[in-house]
Amino acid sequence: DVQTGDVRWTHTEDGVIAAAPHLAGDVLFVGSLRKRVFALDAATGTVRWQTEIGGRVKTAPLVAGGYLVVMAEPRQVYLFGPPVSDAIVDASAVDSLAAR
């Protein structure tokens, strides 16, 4: 609790967590050196989901535009979220955004 300093909950991972977690709304996203990404309920610490990925996570996950972005070794980027719309994938739309 940021007001009292009391610990609300803890979560123990069986692998090293080398990067800061990312809080987005009521979910805390964490990556580990055991090649896992997981989402914890911010209020309770309960694991909402977890998944194995192909590389170790050494940087903080990022939530932007409704997507979770995770960078992992070696030179991998993972995107979690709803399906990408045609408007986002359309090259002309990307070009027009870049021109701004």
Task: List the beta bridge partners of residue 52.
Answer: 36
Residue 65 has pLDDT above 90, yes or no: no
Dihedral sign computed on CA atoms, order 5, 44, 15, 37: negative
Pull the structure tokens for residue 3: 């007001």
Residue 53 has pLDDT above 50, yes or no: yes
Of 76, 36, 73, 68, the closest CA to residue 52 belongs to 36
Query: Using alpha carbons only, what angle is made at residue 64 by residues 59 and 67, rounded to the nearest 5 degrees?
Result: 90
Residue 71 has pLDDT above 90, yes or no: yes
Quote the pLDDT of residue 57. Answer: 96
